[in-house]
Amino acid sequence: MELSGALSTHPWGKRGSKSMAGYYYWHRRKRNLLDENAHYSTLIFSGNASARPTVIVETKENLDSFIEKNANVIGKNGELYANRLPFQVKIICLESGMSLGCHPPKKQAERLHRMYPGRYSSEEHKPKLLIALHYLQVMAGFRQRSEIVSFISGIPELAIVIPYATIEDYLCSGNTLHLKRMFYFLMSASHQEIKTSLDIFFARMNDADSTAKALVNYNVLKTLFEQFSYDCGVYAPLFLNHIFLNPGQAMFIPSGIVHTCLHGDCFEVTTSSRNIIRCGLTDKYKDIDEFLYIADFNASSVEKLILEPNHLDEFEMSYVPPAKEMQVSRICVPVDMTYTIKEKEWCSIAMVTRGIAILDDFRQISLGTALFILPYQKLTFKVKKDITIYVVFPNPDNEFCDSHYCHT
């Protein structure tokens, strides 16, 4: 069954045909309706009720309604997910950064929803798998102590927003409690304090050479300053890992890991929760108390955040994060080959991100095609132009992970 997803626009999205989300969406429709001035940010496929639902093309029925009437379509162990689709799929295209924050784990999500249902609309956690489609730039997880010490030692202007005694405590001990206190003062600083600190810092760095700028991560700070002006999150790269993912590289972000995407294109798989505890790079509400309580302030090595795929055969690799809701296969098949996506015990969503092929029922699939595949249904196709397909499905047999600690 072919699916039609929901296309969203946000100021941080890429413009017009430069956005894979916009291009994929309109490629399956009337291309002349693509607006080159629109910031197409996300193309979403979800099996949950939404104001902008995913629709089955042939019947015009919402996917969530179809699943509700046919609970067995989830497949094996569907009761683990209350017979609902446990994941949603997004194509995300960023020209500039998104807000910085973390997602609460299951128990905290339940508590936050109970206390603040208007702010936290879901009781679910939100583990997240990112796969770079082109290049993807991300900030995620706190740096090693030595890196943080090196950066903040070169920026005396930080003492305008963070008391020097607190900085000194961290420089001497490296204790996560002192790191948390630094973040508290950074997030709590007034606009004037942030403005004064950043103005003095950038004025001083104007005359600095490239070596001096590299020692304080100047280029990343400058980019964020141009996008978010006097936001406390401009200083975030001093504390968080700055990561570049090449096409096909993946990252798994468990609950509690502080992160944001800064630039690029990615294939994202996550749960349907919209809960985010923001701490910077936003004009929206920053929930400082909950962020300090829930965020994981332990150091996260880049190697532990990267998720290496398993190669299943010459054409298919599998990304299996420690989460019951999701796993992903990436299938790349050259022209003139015939290939079969094997039947699975669960339903799946398949997304074509490159190429053209003909299914065994003579339908054509091409860039932007999304299919809902039923349990125990195989998909055979003949490739007309080198093709890449991502297939997402549940993973009920996987060990459950709801925090950073089970990934380290």
Active centre residues (catalytic): 278
Residue type, 298: N
Q: Which two tokens stand for residue 217?
A: 């991560």
Asked whether 95 and 270 are in contact (CB, 8 A), the reply is no
In angstroms, the CA 256 to CA 270 distance is 14
Q: Which two tokens stand for residue 123?
A: 């009781």
Q: What is the largest CA-CA distance in the chain?
A: 70
Asked whether 113 and 213 are in contact (CB, 8 A), the reply is no
Map tokens 């003579």 to a residue. 362
Asked whether 111 and 119 are in contact (CB, 8 A), the reply is no
259 marked as part of a ligand binding site: yes
Asked whether 254 and 295 are in contact (CB, 8 A), the reply is no
Provide the 3-class DSSP secondary structure of residue 325. Answer: coil
- CA 266, distance to chain mean position in Å, is 8
Note every long-range contact of 222-229, with CB atoms under 8 Å and residues 24 or more positions apart, other chains counting. 223/262, 224/97, 224/262, 224/281, 225/198, 227/96, 227/97, 227/281, 228/97, 228/281
Cβ–Cβ contacts within 10 Å for residue 388, how many? 17
Asked whether 187 and 100 are in contact (CB, 8 A), the reply is no
φ, ψ (nearest 5 deg) of residue 171? -60, -35
In angstroms, the CA 286 to CA 292 distance is 11
The dihedral region occupied by 355, where left means phi > 0, alpha psi between -120 and 50, and beta the remainder, is left
Alpha helices in 258-361 (DSSP H): 288-294, 302-305
The length of the chain, given as a count of residues:
408
113 marked as part of a ligand binding site: no
Q: SS3 helix, strand, coil % of the chain, rounded to 5?
A: 30, 30, 35
β-pair partners for 364? 358
Dihedral (Cα; 188, 191, 196, 199), 10-degree rounding: 110
Annotated binding site for Zn(2+): 103, 259
Annotated binding site: 103, 259
